[in-house]
Amino acid sequence: MSSQRIHTLDVTAQNLKSNARLSLKDQQLRTNMRSAMDSLISKRLISMPDEDERENLRELGNKIKASALSQLPDLLEQLESNLTKQGIQVHWASTTEEANAIVLNIAQARNAKQVIKGKSMVSEEMAMNEHLTEHGIEALESDMGEYIIQLDNEKPTHIIMPAIHKNAQQVGKLFESRLALPYTDDVDSLIQSARSILREKFFQADIGISGVNFAVAETGTLLLVENEGNGRMSTTVPPVHIAVTGIEKVVANLQDTVPLLSLLTRSALGQGITTYVNMISAPRQPDELDGPEEVHLVLLDNGRSQAFADSELRQTLNCIRCGACMNHCPVYTRIGGQAYGTVYPGPIGKIISPHLLGLENTPDHPSASSLCGACGEVCPVKIPIPALLRRLREENVKSPKQQPQIMAGQGSRYSNKEALLWKGWQAFNTKPLLYKTGTFLATRLGQFTPSKLGAWTQNHSAPKPAKRSLHELAKKHLEKKS
């Protein structure tokens, strides 16, 4: 069984290449991923059959996010002011350490022992579970997929479907070994077992944690999207609710959530809407009988302001976390999400992770793409992911000393040899005498090109230079004409 699991991977972002090689050999993983992604691709298309409707909405989604980002600091202040007025406490964190300290402070002030979590990718960025556990607080995931991978000490493989790399037999065996339940691969029974365990945890929890899909500045509303009801449980049953989110999740007006919601749920799962859309604008009011007494919002930067500083890279922050780019990515489908070693895998992961972790920690991510363009074509908010990947490749090979420094870890793939080679190439192509001599020699000595050229000739035949250069042919042609 252990050979079918991939948490033997060294799950750090540094090892993308070696992780990818291991994952490619994992037949179970590849079968599970292929069938899941094929199904998600077709569901999305079925839910967006009218091309005009779809494309107009993507354009609108893009503009709404661009407009929100163009006034981001003002919207954040408006959001903070409205939430505060309505009784929700707002906290700011530049780093994940600061965010963890804020959460821990709230927990310790309430003497909390048990925390139940709805799905939140930002809490994954923070490694919040580990942090709380270190301080003696149990942090339990309640999203079915997150619960499964937490049981197996794994990291999410997909931002929407964290356990999509496992099949029902694997989950059945996991429940058998970790929860001492009789083995079954019947999905309904597995879900009902998890439901009854987690219901008790919701009942006991001192604090509920959630993410946020959209934060509305105009009304001071946190909007959460989900199918399972664990998000509603986490934000309603415990006496304290802490929402954690990135600073880019704010939109100006409540009506902006109409197109964004429709884009999000259809792009992610091919659903016209999720089972629950939960809009929270205040804690329990004096005349209300349930809901949390305290609601907190933690706004996390963690590298986002670095992406924000560059108008091209800023588009990375349009992302509404639907996962469509990974579902359509030929690389992601083959290697799975864990090989990336980052919280956000796939195409969006490759353009956001370098800002969160620095290029030095994600050196292979910008180039782990064939630039086929599928991600950009399906992105509901039209992030030009392939263009941003190429941009990051440039930042990745700039001299580490070159100013201005746009990215942390700039030039992590910089090599003197390569820089020199490009300088030579530049000289060759800009100095006519050098170019003419060079092409003359190459065409005349072409027959001496070796037939084995390392990695290139493993899959290709060796290149043979033409007998005459294009310049020579053109010259001859013109002479003949005259």
CB of 315 to other proteins, least distance (A): 13
Among 49, 111, 153, 290, binds other proteins (CB under 8 A): 290
Q: Are 335 and 19 in contact (CB under 8 A)?
A: yes
Q: Whole-angstrom distance between the N-terminal and C-terminal Cα of the chain?
A: 77
Q: From the CB of 434, what's the least distance to other proteins, in Å?
A: 43
- Which of the ranges 17-25, 34-42, 345-353, 393-401 carries the binding residues for other proteins, by CB under 8 A? 34-42
Among 3, 71, 81, 457, binds other proteins (CB under 8 A): 71
CA distance 336 to 354: 19
Name the 3-class secondary structure at 14.
helix
Tokens of residue 149, six digits: 């991978």
The residues in 395-434 that bind other proteins, with binding defined as CB under 8 A, are none
Residue 316 near other proteins by CB under 8 A: no
Q: Which of 46, 309, 427, 434 binds other proteins (CB under 8 A)?
A: 309
Is residue 63 near other proteins by the rule CB under 8 A? Answer: yes
Q: Give whichever of 16 and 237 is closer to other proteins, judged by the CB atom.
A: 237
Contacts to other proteins from residues 133-152, by CB under 8 A: 142-145, 148
Residues 167-206 that bind other proteins (CB under 8 A): 167-168, 171, 187-188, 190-192, 195, 198-199, 202-203
d(CA 361, CA 47): 38
# chain residues binding other proteins, by CB under 8 A? 95
Query: 228 to 257, contacts with other proteins by CB under 8 A?
Result: 228-230, 232-233, 236-237, 247, 252-256
Nearer Cβ to other proteins, position 85 or 436?
85
Task: Please report, as a single letter, which amino acid is at residue 35.
Answer: S
By CB under 8 A, is residue 449 in contact with other proteins? no
H helical segments located in 143-227: 144-151, 168-179, 187-204
Q: Which of 187, 282, 200, 275 is nearest to 232 (CA)?
A: 275
Secondary structure of residue 348 in the 3-state scheme:
helix
Q: Which helix (H) or strand (E) holds 117?
A: strand 114-117
Map the footprint of other proteins across residues 265-284, applying CB under 8 A. 269, 272-284
Query: Smallest distance from the beta carbon of 348 to other proteins, in angstroms?
Result: 20
CA angle 256, 124, 363 (to 5 degrees): 100
77 binds other proteins (CB under 8 A): yes
Query: Considering the complex, what minimum distance in angstroms separates the CB of residue 97 from other proteins?
Result: 11
Task: Name the token pair of 142.
Answer: 């309640």
- Shortest gap between Cβ of 191 and other proteins (angstroms)? 4
Show the beta-strand stretches assigned E in 142-205: none
Residue number, 274 or 410, with CB nearest to other proteins:
274
Rounded least distance, CB 132 to other proteins, Å: 20
Element (H, E) at 116: strand 114-117
C-beta separation of 244 from 126 below 8 A: yes
| HSE, side-chain direction, 13 A CA sphere, residue 477 | 7
